[in-house]
Amino acid sequence: MDDYGRDLCEAGQWTTIVSSFGLEPADAVQAQGWRGVRVFTINGYSHDMPMISVLSRGEGPYGDPLESVLDVRASKSASDDQSAFSTLRRDAWLSLQDAAERIRELAAASPERQSGAPPENSASPESPGRDEIDEIVICLHAWVTVTETLSDTGVQRRIRNACGDDPLFNASYDLSARALRGFPHCNHLDPANYRNESTQLSACLILEGSNRTSAAEVLSIVDGARSDGFSGYLAPEIRWVGPAGDVLAGHSAVQARVSEHFDDMHFVVANVVGEADGAIVSGTLARYLGDGIRETIEVRQSWRRLGDRWMLVELAIEPARRVQLNED
């Protein structure tokens, strides 16, 4: 199970998770001739992080695969538009194929259940030294990996977590760092803003447009400015477009509105569309007002490169909405 108790061994639950990535079941993919690994990572609060697969098919004259593909993709809930899944895709390089093969070998040699926990009934009143045990280790909010290996003999699935030191978990978890190297624009995201490579990949999956490097540079500013605000990035002639279409212009006039909204509300970025000299950031401001009420405001930020700096040139907001949360 993950931290919130989803049973990852239950067939229906696992089918739902796989489908949320727009993926076929591993058995169907294996039957199509694909071989390799698929790694599903779940963070310490049961959020599905980017799935990474390294799959190969066919064989060339020297034993090399004819097709070898790295696929990184985000999960979507059933309520989302299923017509478009956020993906990063490219040919898999040789060292990445070797890493996938190492994961497959570790999975094949590993027990079905994660080792490290003491066997049941290992301590009894008669066990020597039992009274001397004075330390209890509790592992909270552990990250989890579900590793599927596709081979000629079928599909193998192993569930591991970060509690303890498990070589299969370590290798599967490390696949995010390896995949990140394959997408140069993802590496324009400031790693200081992200907990690890998996969360950096998650951020990279919301970058769009003809110039995703521009999108990454702007998202790095936005993610880095969450705690300090955007005052240092307001262009001299910045425009504020209010919910009724009212417009304010100029740094001093807009500064108060920006502080009023962004200082007390949490900004969640939905996507960033980058062009050669600009980027559009779309997201939602949110805060809790008490009594189970949440207020949200849709936001659209326009950024432009002015000289050698990215600056916020327009900020438009939609009317605030309030919803009653289900507290059950």
Residue 16 shares a structural domain with residue 156: yes
- Is residue 21 domain-shared with residue 106, that is, in the same domain? yes
What's the pLDDT at 130?
A: 60
pLDDT of residue 84: 62
- Give the per-residue pLDDT at 80: 53
Whether residues 226 and 315 fall in one domain? yes
Residue 187 corresponds to which tokens in the numbers above? Answer: 């590496």
**Which secondary-structure segment (H or E) carries 149?**
strand 144-151
* Shared-domain flag, residues 177 and 210: no
Is residue 191 included in any domain, yes or no?
A: no
Contact 185, 210 (CB under 8 A): no
Mean pLDDT for the chain? 89
Identify whether residues 136 and 17 lie together within a single domain. yes
Q: Report H helices in 32-135.
A: 94-109
40/98 same-domain check: yes
- 269 - beta bridge partners? 283
Cα of 225 vs its chain's centroid, Å: 20
Answer yes or no: are the C-beta atoms of 301 and 315 closer than 8 Å.
yes
- CA distance from start to end of the chain: 22
CATH number, position 214: 3.10.450.50
For residues 108 and 176, state if they share a domain: yes
> pLDDT for 163-194, tens place per residue?
988 999 999 999 999 999 999 999 999 999 99
Co-location of 169 and 279 in the same domain:
no
Domain count within the chain: 2
Evaluate whether residue 192 is within a structural domain.
no
Contact by Cβ (8 Å): 271, 208: yes
**Tens digits of per-residue pLDDT, 75-107?**
986 445 545 678 999 999 999 999 999 999 999
From residue 295, give the alpha-carbon distance in Å to each of 18, 23, 243, 264, 265. 32, 34, 15, 11, 9
| CB neighbour list of residue 34: distance below 8 Å, 6 or more residues apart | 55, 56, 57, 150
Domain that includes residue 80, residue range: 11-181
How far apart, in whole angstroms, are the C-alpha atoms of residue 229 and residue 249?
Answer: 19
pLDDT at residue 78, rounded to an integer:
47
**How confident is the model at residue 81, as a pLDDT?**
52
The answer to the question of residue 153 being in a domain is: yes
| Domain end call among 135, 165, 181 | 181
Same domain, 176 and 211: no
Q: Does residue 166 lie within any of the structural domains?
A: yes
* pLDDT the model gives residue 228: 59
Cα distance between residue 2 and residue 287, in whole Å: 27
pLDDT of residue 124: 47
Sign of the dihedral defined by the CA atoms of residues 146, 149, 155, 156, in that order: negative
The C-alpha angle 190, 304, 50, rounded to 5 degrees, equals 35
Residue 186 included in any domain: no
Within a domain: residue 188?
no
Size of the chain in residues: 328
Does residue 37 sit in the same domain as residue 143? yes
Of the three residues 139, 165, 181, the one that is the final residue of a domain is 181
Clarify whether residues 58 and 93 are in a common domain.
yes
In this prediction, residue 50 carries a pLDDT of 97
Could you say which residues of the chain have pLDDT below 70?
Answer: 77-84, 116-133, 226-229, 327-328
Based on its alpha-carbon atoms, the radius of gyration of the chain, rounded to whole angstroms, reads 24
Residue 3 counted as domain residue: no
Q: Is residue 70 part of a domain?
A: yes
Domain final residue pick, 146, 181, 216: 181
Same domain for 16 and 51, yes or no, is yes
